[in-house]
Structure 1
Amino acid sequence: MFTGLVEERGTVRAIRTNAIGVRLEIAAELILTDASVGSSIAVCGCCLTVVELGDGWWAADVVSETLNRSTLGSLRAGDGVNLERPVRLSDRLGGHLVQGHVDGVGVVVARRDLSDGSARLRFEPPREILRYIVEKGSIAIEGVSLTIAGIDAIGFEIALIPHTLAVTTLGALRVGSRVNLEVDILAKYVEKLLPPVASAVGRAS
């Protein structure tokens, strides 16, 4: 479990094809201070397992399912990636609960850079996850916990402060960029519970 607060922006060092998909090697520093083989690390919102450690880098195996259902399949050597270690029970929950399980890939359809250094971006998500997105609710975009600034029938908007633009990969997003999206897990639990509750209320009346 993660919080969507990116700890470090790493760099893709190499991508090597293997029997299950690819082995992704990432250069990093901070997140390696307590990492070991078997540790979990979120890469642009995808929870991956450390399978190899080197001097200033680590590697994870990424299966075809993950490559096909996320933006990891389009990564190239030299690309920047958002990195976060799992949350500890003693940590502050500065963002929101993020599982590291991508629900779908969205597309940037508009970007407006403002004079104060912030930016307003509009995204179009897969239609099937739009129902879980609400104004002022939380969403993880490329592993970054963000607040929905506006929503309509086909998309939503995010306001990004200069700090987020500077320390994450979101600053490089342009119209046409694809992004990993994970909706708030609480919304899916509520949806799962509502039909039985509604049926019980109907029977009682």
Structure 2
Amino acid sequence: MTFAELKRRLPPRTLAFLAVGALIAGGFMAIFIVPDYRQCKVLAAENEGLRATLEVRRQMVPVVESLKKARASLPEVEGMAGKERLPLAEVGQLASVMDGMAVPLGLRLTQVSPDPSSVTRDGLVAVRLVLLGEPDKFRDFLLALGRYAPLAKIESVVTHVGHDGREYRVKCWLAVSSAG
């Protein structure tokens, strides 16, 4: 049956109701079904990404377990840091103290800058260090810095290759006392 035959057999009022019904059905699909279908596609893609991430995590479980076992077998190290406070009068001599740690290890200390505005209520002061040298020697410097009694914590270590070689920027916090 063609459209012309259908148009001839049905009354105009029925055709109008069919057209309005088709418009309503099309509007309903455009407003409710099509956006949900698109959202379903987005969620399906996100679900696939999450499944891939989950699979990678499953594959990494043996590695994580072996790292936990290795960490458990490491000996405990008692920190010396923070047990003593640096007298405030000696903060100006930090350059010579840090240089005394760096030079024997083969590093060059280029900057030591305590930040007086960073002093906390707990008596901590931020100190920024800039060193030049080899990575192995810098690691040894960090170990020596860790044994420095006034050290409270190392906040950040940043490294990059500069024109003079590998440069290390360290921000650490030292415990200071107002006495002395």
| Structure in which a larger fraction of residues adopt helix | 2
Shorter-chain TM-score: which interval? under 0.3
- Scaled by the length of structure 2, what TM-score is found? 0.28
Give the strand-richer structure, 1 or 2.
1
